[in-house]
Structure 1
Amino acid sequence: MENKRNKIKEYLTIGSMLFGLFFGAGNLIFPVNLGQNAGANLIPAMIGFLITAVGLPFLGTIAMGISESNGLYEMSSGINKKFGLFFTIALYLTIGPFFALPRLGTVSFEVGLKSFISDEQMKLFLLIFTFIFYLIAFLFSLKPSKIMVWVGKVLNPTFLVLLSILIIIVFIKPMGNAFGQEVQDSFVKNSFTEGFIGGYNTMDVLASLAFSIIVIQSIKGLGIKEPKEIAKYTLKSGIVTLILMSIIYGSLIYMGASSLGKLNISENGGIALNQISNYYFGFIGQVLLAVIVIIACLKTAVGLITACSETFNKIFPRVSYFKFICIVTLVSFLVSNVGLNSIIKLSLPVLNFLYPLAIILMVLIFLSPIFKNDKRVFKITLLFTGVASFFDALKIAPSIIKENFIIEELLKVIQKILPLFKEGFGWLIPSIAGFIMGLLIIKLKSKK
């Protein structure tokens, strides 16, 4: 019984750590914003969002566990060395110093402290705050072996207690009837699709592949060495994360929809959260929200700095882990001072390119027994996916790129010939076609 109780405790601790690593900036602001836009259509939007923001990250974590590799780079390089290098670096730069990490510092400031500061002093205080924020994250990242203790046992439980206070009061005293609120134009007919693509913003599918290196090392730190046992621990710990994230996401989407009873739609979820907490608790609510957001973002920042630096150290072993955490932290600090809305706009095309590749990679890992893990199926399917998702990314690229005459004409042609391109799923049919072609090729080769 003691051994069983210890195992349950270990599953809960790793699950808490994994949830803590996942649940950062986007996980707080995007569900609230989605709820405000979806209004009465919050249920289909919520289902779509939960698939990409909870279901797929869960599958990603399990996929890495059953792949028996020590991280994304090792696994993707097994398919093709150049693809492995490109995909790993692109993914870690996206969820690291270029987009996700800077967003953590900016969200902490905008949601937690912006309302206390005048417009004239905004840039100066953002600079000071982000410097302190990334310095603390840097200090936590110096000892990656302690990450399960810091995140799983300290920061995450504190965050959950504080966030629960706000969520409970929203359900007890809602601002309005969530199912009777106005639905924004894009959500009238496509609420599920909007929710599904909205889940990309959390970056959790990418994070599930990136954080695998931390999860696997943490499990090994418990004395678990057998690949099958590591996969089992990953699965059972992932269930804890799945349940926690589903409950909190659903609550935040409901919070956003019901807030329309008293508030107008905000420019982003950070502003909405600030207004909601101020409505319920006044000044104390803003202080409570500031603490919630800073803890949420800090724990994820520690995980991202650690994961990025450990991976880059494996790819480029001549550069030490310490030097990488210095570089990653410094770049994140500099980019964070660009501003939240700018970071979100710039990240969307990159996410639309990388997300389909990550999703298909996970699916192929699960389906690999069917084609005996033949690398040709991986290569052909991912090639088809990559080409199609590139056009999906081009469609929402900045105006300076998208409004080029050649690009405009190209996108018109692609929209006519590529099914589901208008809905944002232009990569789906090419991925299936690539998979079928890969299966046919290995079958023909085996006959020869």
Structure 2
Amino acid sequence: MSQIKSTSLSTGLAMFSMFFGAGNITFPLIIGQNVESGIVFALIGLILTAVVMPFTGLMSITLFEGDYRSFFNRIGKTPALIVILILLGIIGPFGAIPRLVTLTFATLKVYFTGMHMLTFNLISCFLIFLFCWKKSRTIDLIGYILSPVLVFSLVFIIVKGLFFSTPEVMEGSHVPHPFLYGLKEGYNTMDLIAAFFFSSLVYERLKQQAGAKGKATSLFTSVFKASLIGAALLSIVYIGFGYVAAHFSHALAGTPIDQLVGRLGHIVLGKHAGLIVCLSIVLTCLTTAIALTVVCADFLQQHIFKEKVKYEYSLGLILILTALTTTLEFTGIVQMLSPVLQVIYPSLLVLCLFNILHKTLAVKSIKIPVFAAMSLVLYFQ
């Protein structure tokens, strides 16, 4: 029993670290800064799209035994391959991974003004390569080593900001519909997309822990317990950062979005901001980038190169493309991804829901609802 609890705890911490990346640490701050007194409704919207939906997606893939290819193949093998490639590009070298690197650079540059982007990118990609090289230990490294430090540093910022600093008086919301605003900002975290691919890492780990006698129902239960831990931690951090940003919204006014965390650290922590903020950002970006890079490199090696090249070469290619994309900088990457996410996210939600219905209630319909959702979004854009 203690082994099961330990596995669920470490896997839940790993889930939290995987999901809590560049989007997660930035967008709650953007929401808090812009909605102020409407923070409650905005955070409810954010949690729905950035916590509930991603973990629902992760559970739905668990029903397919962690096989995301079977999950997507229900819309047809060719459409599935195209969708998978697009999604991996978004959460991989053309979206999430370089966004992580650029956020880290923007934050650290406040304290190390002489730092050059190219040098920083190369160092970051090299560190990611080292962690991903021994991919069999990725979950253990994230769950046991990096996660506790990450959680501690983030909680310190939240507690200091909410209980040991003098907040400003929150004014009215700067947006007309805080709930819808939070709902849409949750798309930008891209966590539903990430969940589709993280699930294979999580499922395989729990399957190995369960051994040959592990049953599908017990594995599903283990994933569910770990998901509750990860979702709870994610929600707490979202709420905490959202409220801190709302309290100090005037002081954050005019701050570029990729420097919000660094600026907030200065306001809340004063002279100690450098150490705490840098630590939290570096760990956040590193843990998420590790998981994303492993998933992308695996798919590239197994399904594109058909295992004709070594894993290390696939890993290297992903990180080279990542380094090139970082030249767009954080804001440029966000602007590039936003319209794409607006189009594909509703269809992914529909796909997720109908696959759950397929596994639980034997509902066979899938193609018409998914492509209808895509068509409607394109029509109203």
Query: Quick check: 1:222 aligned with 2:222?
Result: no
Match for 1:231 among 217, 220, 228? 220
Equivalent residues of 1:175, 1:260 under 8 A apart = no
Q: Which residue of 2 aligns with 1:116?
A: 111
Equivalent residues of 1:76, 1:84 under 8 A apart = yes
Q: Which residue of 2 aligns with 1:244?
A: 233
CA distance in 2 between partners of 1:11 and 1:342 (Å): 38
Structure 2 letter corresponding to 1:355: Y
Equivalent residues of 2:98, 2:326 under 8 A apart = yes
Query: Quick check: 1:44 aligned with 2:32?
Result: no
3-state SS of 1:338 partner:
helix
RMSD: 1.8
- Extract unaligned runs of 5+ from structure 2: none
Q: Whose radius of gyration is greater, 1 or 2? A: 1
CA distance in 1 between partners of 2:80 and 2:252 (Å): 47
Change over 3 Å in CA distance of 1:272–1:389 after alignment to 2: same
Equivalent residues of 2:64, 2:70 under 8 A apart = no
Q: Which residue of 1 aligns with 2:354?
A: 364
CA distance in 2 between partners of 1:369 and 1:339 (Å): 41
3-state SS of 1:97 partner:
coil
Q: Which residue of 1 aligns with 2:68?
A: 72
Query: Quick check: 1:164 aligned with 2:155?
Result: yes
Per-residue CA shift, 1:197-249, capped at 9, x if unaligned?
A: 10011110111111111111211221344322221211111000111001000
Question: For residues 166-315 of structure 1, what are the structure 2 equivalents within 5 Å?
Answer: 166-177=157-168, 180-184=170-174, 187-188=175-176, 190-224=177-211, 225-260=214-249, 262-268=251-257, 270-315=258-303
3-state SS of 1:202 partner:
coil
1:370 CA displacement? 7.0
Question: For residues 121-140 of structure 1, what are the structure 2 equivalents within 5 Å?
Answer: 125-140=116-131
Query: Quick check: 1:329 aligned with 2:319?
Result: yes
Per-residue CA shift, 1:75-134, capped at 9, x if unaligned?
A: 2124310121011111111000001000010001112x121355xx56xx1111111111
Deviates more, 1:215-224 or 1:329-338: 215-224
Structure 2 letter corresponding to 1:42: I
Equivalent residues of 2:71, 2:355 under 8 A apart = no
Change over 3 Å in CA distance of 1:279–1:311 after alignment to 2: same
Structure 2 letter corresponding to 1:88: I
CA distance in 2 between partners of 1:95 and 1:271 (Å): 21
1:34 CA displacement? 0.8
Q: Which residue of 2 aligns with 1:386?
A: 374
Instruction: Tell which has more relative contact order, 1 or 2 (C-alpha 8 A, sep 6+).
Output: 2
Identity %: 25
CA distance in 2 between partners of 1:174 and 1:391 (Å): 48
Equivalent residues of 1:181, 1:260 under 8 A apart = no
CA distance in 2 between partners of 1:78 and 1:284 (Å): 52
Equivalent residues of 2:94, 2:322 under 8 A apart = yes
1:29 CA displacement? 0.8
Per-residue CA shift, 1:346-376, capped at 9, x if unaligned?
A: 01011112211221111112222576242xx
Match for 2:91 among 69, 90, 95? 95
1:319 CA displacement? 4.0
Q: Which residue of 1 aligns with 2:333?
A: 343
CA distance in 1 between partners of 2:251 and 2:82 (Å): 47
